Amino acid sequence: MVLKVSEVSGILDRYHGDFESAEGLLRASFPSFGESLVGGMTLRSKRSAVCAESPTSSCGSTLSLSSILSTSPAKASVVSASSVSSKPIPIVAQKKHSTYVEKGQFHTWIGAMRAQSPPHILSLHSDTPDAFDLETAVHKSWLERHPSALSSFHKVIKNAHKKQIVVFLDYDGTLSPIVEDPERAFMSTEMRATVKDLASCFPTAVISGRSRSKVFDFVQLTELYYAGSHGMDIMGPAKSSDGFRVKGTKSRDKRGNDVVKFQPASEYLPVINKVCNALIESTKSIKGASVEHNKFCVTVHFRRVNEEYWEVLAERVQNVLKDYPTLTLTHGRKVLEVRPCISWDKGKAVEFLLKSLGYKDTGDVIPLYIGDDKTDEDAFKMVNRAKHGCSILVSSVPKPSDAKLSLQDPSEVMEFLRRLVRWKKWGLESRNSIQMGVYDFK
Ligand SMILES: O=P(O)(O)OC[C@H]1O[C@H](O[C@H]2O[C@H](CO)[C@@H](O)[C@H](O)[C@H]2O)[C@H](O)[C@@H](O)[C@@H]1O
């Protein structure tokens, strides 16, 4: 497909002039994006148009297509807070991080945050047939690359016979809908019942950016395993067998089960408490901004802040971070997250939990991960490495992802989980019919 500059410009408009999100979307939808562009022209972003009306603002510029295309999303995902050198805390390998970021980096963060919560492109700016056609084509092409896990259900279970499915679930945006107030991100009673059923069929874990205690308060199911703080606070089963014992402290949970607790960033607790207070102080004058203490990481929320103050907020966060060289910043859905600069993520947490469940050989087990956010990408990559691993992105709009399959929203997640339960409960005969496509789940 050949995209004209005007069409790309339309997509940029829908992404508020955010080149990285738009480029990511186009690349995610059309692998040949770049070669197919009619090049040599310059595009003026909507951001710069907005700024022209507001002379005091410093944002926006006219960018050439080549500069748009040379932007690498990978560069934007993790940025360092400071160049000040200091001895890292040697618990888990420290991540390499770049030196002090320039002011232009705010645009990258902000663009990246928008990319995590893009507008529904099919419902916006679809007033011309051209725009509608392109949006439909983009979505269709993206769905071909990330098919619905509901319509591909037979593929998910195809290899599951005599293998153990282990389910990993993100919380916000996966089990609960995204809402303005993070304290009110409740999961529905139906979803809770579904996850309870699921846990009676398969080992099930929730891996969240929230603190472990907070995500437990939301989910309230003792039959699950929980990893909070993006996997930096794990409470898992102590079932690892000889030869691959997992690290961590063993104990008994309230139900008398052996459990293992692993907190690879425990030595960062004092510094996390300190940075959390500093962030609260420095952001308190920005209307709508809030800071959430997630035990081993801190989340700064942008969702309720007027977009014209996003840059100021990002700048304040960065200024605070200058004094904390052992911490780093990542972004998610309208959030910036401060976390220890260690090589640990949701993917490593999945690996840890599989081992603590006693699964050594990836061929025996089917890890299935469902998540909606940037930090879930590490887990997608991890389960994709397993022979029959299944990675599912929750998103109603096309966005770049390593997930193989997709679901639109938490209600589709619930439907998918229910199908898994039904499949497991029905016995082999029915399973065979399903695999042969004889039975329609609906
Ligand atoms: O890993 P997760 O379980 O998805 O947690 C990631 C962050 O989720 C929460 O923020 C997101 O959901 C909020 C409630 O719907 C929403 O207001 C916010 O804009 C989203 O980014 C949570 O509040 C964060 O602490 C988590 O890190």
DSSP secondary structure string, 386-405?
Answer: STT-EEEEE-SS----S-SE
Distance CA 111, CA 331 (A): 10
| Residue position matching structure tokens 């679930």 | 169
CB 5 within 8 A of CB 38: yes
Q: Tell me: the pLDDT tens digits for 66-97? A: 332 223 333 322 223 333 233 333 345 555 44
Which atom, in ligand 1's list, is nearest to the CA of 302? 19
Distance CA 32, CA 36 (A): 6
Reported as a pLDDT band with limits 50, 70 and 90, residue 332 is: very high
Rounded to the nearest angstrom, the distance between the alpha carbon of 171 and the centre of ligand 1 is 8
Cα torsion 352, 354, 357, 361: sign: negative
Distances (CA, A) of 245 to 205, 257, 351, 352, 358: 19, 17, 12, 10, 9
pTM beyond 0.80:
no
Distance CA 35, CA 124 (A): 27
Q: How many helices and strands, by DSSP H and E, does the chain display?
A: 16, 16
Q: What does the pLDDT read at residue 236?
A: 78
Rounded to the nearest angstrom, the distance between the alpha carbon of 119 and the centre of ligand 1 is 17
Tell me, using a 6 A CB cutoff, whether residue 171 lines ligand 1.
yes
How much of the chain exceeds pLDDT 70, in percent?
A: 66
Does the model's ipTM exceed the 0.85 cut? yes
Distance CA 199, CA 71 (A): 42
Distance CA 84, CA 358 (A): 42
Domain residue spans of the chain? 5-71+102-144, 149-235+345-435
Rounded to the nearest angstrom, the distance between the alpha carbon of 157 and the centre of ligand 1 is 30
DSSP 327-358: EEEEEETTEEEEEESBS--HHHHHHHHHHHTT
Q: Tell me: the pLDDT tens digits for 156-214? A: 998 888 899 999 999 999 999 999 999 999 999 999 999 999 999 999 999 999 999 99
Give the fold, CATH level 3, of 149-235+345-435. Rossmann fold (3.40.50)
| Residue position matching structure tokens 């004889």 | 438
Distance CA 321, CA 283 (A): 13
Tell me, using a 6 A CB cutoff, whether residue 373 lines ligand 1.
yes
Rounded to the nearest angstrom, the distance between the alpha carbon of 381 and the centre of ligand 1 is 21
Rounded to the nearest angstrom, the distance between the alpha carbon of 259 and the centre of ligand 1 is 27
Tell me, using a 6 A CB cutoff, whether residue 209 lines ligand 1.
yes
Which atom, in ligand 1's list, is nearest to the CA of 299? 25
DSSP 83-98: ----PPP-SS-BPP--
Distance CA 439, CA 442 (A): 9
Mean pLDDT of 319-330: 96
Which atom, in ligand 1's list, is nearest to the CA of 297? 27
Distance CA 116, CA 399 (A): 8
